[in-house]
Structure 1
Amino acid sequence: MTDPATYAACLLAVDPVGLGGLCLRGGGGPARDALLAGLRAALPAGTPWRRVPLQVDDDRLLGGLDLGASLVAGRPVQQPGLLAEAAGGVLLLSMAERADAHLAARLAAALDGRHVPLSLVALDEGIEPDETLPASLRERLGLIATVTAATAGTLPDPAAIDAARARLAAITCDDATVQALCATAAALGIASLRTAWQAWCAARASAALAGRSAVTQADAELAARLVLAPRARTLPAPPEPPEASTAPPPPDPSADPAPPPDDRDPPMPAELRELQDQTLAAAQAAIPPGLLESLAGCTPRAGGGTGRRGDAARPAQSGRPLSPRRGTLHAGHRLDLLATLRAAIPWQRLRGRERDQRGLPDAPTRLLLRKDDFHLKRYRRPEQTTTVFVVDASGSQALHRLAEAKGAVELLLADCYVRRDCVALIAFRGTGAELLLPPTRSLARARRSLASLPGGGGTPLAAGLEAAWLLGRGVQAREEGRAVLVFLTDARANIARDGAPGRAQAAQDALTMAKRLRAEALHSLLIDTSPRPEPAAMALAQAMGARYVPLPHGQAAEVHGVVGAMR
């Protein structure tokens, strides 16, 4: 059994409480389904196993008052939540990379509550580097493994897992192994002491699974690969060259007596040094390719994420009324009393007979309500759209592009008072990009910003894409509506992201930023302003997932029509 994901599942089955849980990376498929089925079969008989929906509310997760059952019984009836149902068992969270900060905090608090044993299996299906498990959950799940096509998903016989679980309490671990795990965590840039504890638990579970009574070097290396390596934030420093050994000079009888020896720590024993080096080498070899590069090149999403991994849409409490619908009354919803009465009144006589036949006591009210009678009020709240114009202000055609953008901005602002939309303007020229107009509905302010913009210079396309990405992500992170990015450019970049000239590097930086825009799931439109359709502009639009519209002689009305179709 050499597959890391399969071995991680075995360790979790041996010590689910100590390890906290397992993060399985990779998309769904037969291999992952077989692994989850094997893990469930390896747990003790009767162990709870509950799935957590990504959009679960607090009432279902934590439990609360069951309003429908309370009305029928005439007394408060509490319903247990998923956390109570899974006490002593396992919670399964699909698409964990899209979990918002609120759900992650609830699950993290449940994992920290040691009085109710609980473990979590998080299925991380993220593709882009910034689609990762929330940090609060990632720290509490001891094991991290990737499911591949080669994952067999076949766990040992449940009897062997039960025997390993029985001998786990008697497993010993010497101080040298503990020091080696802690030193390896420090060398990899891991500051959390919880991670070192999880590595110690994984080493003990590995020894119990192998039938040993004490942790060995192989168990420590396995713990380093499954616990420490996926969390590495830096590469270990290279070993220092040994100092040249020189013989001490002979003592001088006339000299003063030698000073007393200092209190520095004694040198580390060779065996302990070798143990730490081997553990660190095993962890370094298991670091996933590209992990450190992604940590250095990607900015974590604030507030638990935006775009596809943003918070769940809250029900609107105001706006245009819509027809009511049946639903469960939770926090944030409003009961439509008239629709509820209309649904319940026609069934009162039949429900009264059913109550008499079942011998139930009379209800405290004359109206017999059931859960299916509840109707909730619904509203349609206008969604604000912030249209961000990203204008290429370089080159000889800058004046034409700015005139088209100015006319389109003025046409869009005429609709802002009705649609409650905002318009922003970013221009890039020379060596960088500049936010000339923050999101606003002021037509006079937009005109002043456009009139004061000079043209000419280089084309820092990557800087313009980055500025648009930051603004669009900020708009959606603050829940200010949806951001629509409109680029007016010929995509002939000649200034790199760092401000250095060079077409090859500038084009590569632009494609890198375009992929980041695509990962953020921002609505975007690229208007090609070159005299004829430019292949570079088409490739850039495809990289960012934007709609491509060639407008060699674009007019303000045409730009306004194209942008209006996306809003």
Structure 2
Amino acid sequence: MPDFASPLFHAALALDLVAIDPGLGGLVLRARSGFVRDAVVGRLSRLPLPLTRLHPQVSDEALYGGLDLAATLAAGTIVQEQGLLTTPSTLLLSMAERCPPGLAARLAGCMDREAGHMLIALDEGAEPDEACSPTLADRVAFRVDLEGATLAETRAPLDAPDLAEARARLAQTMVTLDLHRQTAELAVAFGVDGLRAPMFAIRAARAHAALRDAPLAAADVEVACAMVLAHRATRIPERDEDTETESPEPPPPDDGDGAEETPDQDSLEIPQELLLEAVSALLPPDLLDQLQARALRGARGSGAGAVQKGNRRGRPLPSRPGRPGNGARVDLVGTLRTAAPWQRMRAETAAVRDGLHIRASDIRLKRYEDRSDRVLIFAVDASGSAALARLAEAKGAIELLLGEAYARRDYVSLIAFRGTASEVLLPPTRSLVQTKRRLAELPGGGGTPLAAGLQTAMAEAEAARRRGMSPTICVLTDGRANIALDGSADRKQAAADAEKIARIARASRIEGLVLDCGNRPERSLATLADVMGARYLALPRANAERLSAAVSAALGD
């Protein structure tokens, strides 16, 4: 079995196998832009299909083609333009970790139709949760991570076998072993869902044998299973070490004719233990940690740079020039208004003088301001001697903000933290009557579990985000945190826990605002706001009016 310690060799072998058998679908290449990735991308010239470059925001018209509006208006007859998916090609998708679900579904449908396309997805994610869409990764056989590759490896020439001859040998490379059952059992052992992976493993084994110019053997199957199944594994198979290895049966007695019999390949079977070892050798060392992190993340988020869609249509904006398509709507009035001053001049030079003369530059597209509902999550410090004053200020500010909520489409939520824990006193609402009823009596006194308050606010923010809302956390405190997350009275640990939650909020890109209501500005609160990526406002002796005005100004209202 080849040594896959070199990611560059792993990627080169995967591309060679894809070039021999395009039915393998392609490759997901995880690497940041640089010399190492360029060395692998340069090898794409060996693939049998021409290269077509895609980006995550490519439009449907560019993919499938459609009406060429400019040419149609100029010629007076319908002119169709060809799309990128019209002819089979190697699709090179850059920034695959930012591929929206719609584009992933379209590319997956194209590959399912077996139109002859191959996909090379360049995954440039910097964090573990920034990855190529599983929809696309499931439809290509291989995935290679170039994290361990070095510049020195790019200077060493890689083997460049004659792939044309290997493609010619592929049809004669027969599957003579009982691979279908074995690969399916192996996929089940490693928790791989679906039947694509076992079929890819069989294809890869045939391509590897054709590359070696040799009959299909156990070594080809080991390499194929390792390359196809290792990155898809969701569990490590358990092995029964107590089972004794059965001794092989003695060979049949020689009949004395002296002729050596050739074993029947149809009756050969690769020991399953060899395939288990081959796949296990390529498993990432932190597989269990990755699976646990994936389970905790669930279905949240799509990677850095994902577009947040509003749940309201919004108000119309001035139209802009552009090409219709991809969901855009033509602003008929704006288009006619733009074309009107040129009608007489165009009629004098046109072959047909009657009717309107519209050019592509006249077309205007409608635009809308698409805004999500916003929820203001107040995390209020209800501890200590100043608790009642702070809660009264927060209650008045919330009531003032709710008075404007109908115009701004804002929701308000209230969290109080005191003692050793925090409590959601008011879930997101726009009802002023319900707010006054729930805020009538608020508890106060005890320690300051700032980290617990931030943790509860983060949970509320994530829940609001899943409902399509834009959360903003407003922390109202004097900064004297003294209760850790475990409930112990430890100021140092309490500050560390609060900063830990603040880093999570910053990584989640949740907007924040820290309001320091102490008699003197607290330096630790300014540090916390910086860690959280939030704005910091020192408002000593703030009343409800000042607090409401500060929040509105900070949020840009």
Cα deviation, 1:118-137, whole Å, max 9, x if unaligned, reads 12222222233332333322
Distance 2:347 2:483 in 1: 80
Of residues 3, 6, 10, the one that matches 2:16 is 10
The match for 1:229 is 230
8 Å Cα contact 1:307/1:521 also seen in 2: no
Contact 1:100 1:311 in 2 (8 A): no
Quote how far apart the aligned CAs of 1:456 are: 4.5
- Cα deviation digits, residues 6-36 of structure 1 (max 9, x gap): 33333333333x2222222232223223322
1:44-83: per-residue Cα shift (whole Å, max 9, x none)? 2xx3322223223333333333334333333433333332
**Are the equivalent residues in 1 in contact too, given 2:472–2:512 (CA < 8 A)?**
yes
User: Within 5 A, what are the aligned runs for 1:112-123?
Assistant: 112-114=112-114, 116-123=115-122
Q: Could you tell me how far apart the structure 2 residues matched to 1:401 and 1:294 are?
A: 38
Q: Evaluate the alpha carbon distance shift between residue 399 and residue 35 of structure 1 in structure 2; reply closer, same or farther with a 3 A threshold.
A: farther
Note if contact 1:15-1:205 (Cα within 8 Å) is conserved in structure 2.
Answer: yes
Distance in 2 of aligned mates of 1:378 and 1:414: 30
Instruction: Judge conservation of contact 1:326–1:373 (CA < 8 Å) in 2.
Output: yes
| CA distance in structure 2 between the partners assigned to 1:517 and 1:534 by the alignment | 21
1:486 CA displacement: 1.5
Tell me how far apart the structure 2 counterparts of residues 430 and 188 of structure 1 sit (CA, whole Å).
47
1:5 maps to a residue whose letter is A
> Using the alignment, how far apart are the partners of 1:483 and 1:21 within structure 2?
40
2:300 is the alignment partner of 1:319: no
Give runs of aligned pairs for residues 214-363 of structure 1, distance below 5 A.
214-217=216-219, 219-242=220-243, 272-284=271-283, 290-301=289-300, 305=302, 308-310=305-307, 319-322=315-318, 324-330=319-325, 332-347=327-342, 362=352
**Contact 2:310-2:468 within 8 A present in 1 as well:** no
* Residue 206 (structure 2) pairs with residue 204 (structure 1): yes
Which residue, 22, 29, 36 being the options, matches 2:27? 22
State whether residues 428 and 461 of structure 1, in contact with CA within 8 Å, keep that contact through their aligned partners in structure 2. Answer: yes
CA distance in structure 2 between the aligned counterparts of 1:408 and 1:427, rounded to whole angstroms: 15
Is residue 515–residue 543 contact of structure 1 (8 Å, CA) maintained in 2? yes
Aligned-pair CA distance for 1:113:
0.9
SS at match of 2:85: helix
Say whether the 8 Å CA contact 1:19–1:198 is kept in structure 2.
yes
For the aligned residue pairs, the C-alpha RMSD in angstroms reads: 3.8
**Structure 2: which amino acid aligns with 1:517?**
A
Q: Distance in 2 between matches of 1:318 and 1:210?
A: 61
Task: Tell me the equivalent position of 1:33.
Answer: 38
Report the counterpart of residue 93 of structure 2 in structure 1.
93
Structure 1 residues 181 and 306 mapped into 2: Cα distance closer, same or farther (>3 Å)? closer
SS in 2 for 1:451: coil
- Partner residue of 1:140? 139
Are 2:131 and 2:303, in contact at CA under 8 Å, matched by a contact in 1?
A: no
- Does the CA contact (< 8 Å) of 2:331 and 2:366 recur in 1? yes
Q: Are the counterparts in 2 of residues 6 and 153 from structure 1 also a CA contact under 8 Å?
A: no
The CA distance in 2 between the partners of 1:329 and 1:145, in whole Å, is: 39
**Tell me, which stretches of 5 or more residues in structure 1 are unaligned?**
246-268, 357-361
Query: SS at the partner of 1:309?
Result: coil
Query: 1:395 & 1:270 partners in 2: Cα distance?
Result: 74
Letter in 2 for 1:235: I
Displacement of 1:407 in angstroms is 2.8
Alignment partner of 2:366: what SS?
Answer: strand
Counterpart of 2:507 in structure 1: which amino acid? A
1:112 Cα shift? 0.9
Supply the AA of the counterpart residue of 1:15: D
Aligned residue for 1:61?
63
Query: TM-score scaled to structure 1, two decimals?
Result: 0.78
- In structure 2, the CA distance between the partners of 1:492 and 1:64, relative to structure 1 (3 Å rule), is same
For the 8 Å contact 1:129–1:298, the answer to whether it is kept is: no
Which residue of structure 1 aligns with residue 110 of structure 2?
110
Question: 1: distance between equivalents of 2:321 and 2:56?
Answer: 21
Supply the distance in 1 between the matched residues of 2:371 and 2:179 (Cα, whole angstroms).
Answer: 61
Whether the 8 Å contact between 2:184 and 2:198 is mirrored in structure 1 is yes
The answer on whether the counterparts of 2:68 and 2:79 sit within 8 Å (CA) in structure 1 is yes
1:526 and 2:514 are equivalent in the alignment: yes
Is contact 2:28-2:144 (8 Å) kept?
yes
Amino acid at match of 1:91: L
AA in 2 matched with 1:28: S
Q: Which residue of 2 aligns with 1:517?
A: 505
Distance change >3 Å, CA 32–CA 243, structure 1 → 2: closer
TM-aligned CA distance change 1:72 to 1:168, over 3 Å:
same
Counterpart CA distance in 2 for 1:413 and 1:282 is: 59
Verify the 8 A CA contact 2:98 2:304 in the aligned structure 1.
no
The answer as to whether partners of 2:28 and 2:142 remain within 8 angstroms in 1 is yes
> Is the 1:458–1:495 Cα contact (8 Å) retained in structure 2?
no
**C-alpha spacing 1:89/1:331, structure 2 compared with 1 (3 Å):** closer
Question: In the alignment, is the contact (CA less than 8 A) between 1:229 and 1:284 conserved in 2?
Answer: yes
Contact 2:227 2:279 in 1 (8 A): no
1:484 pairs with 2:485: no
SS in 1 for 2:280: helix
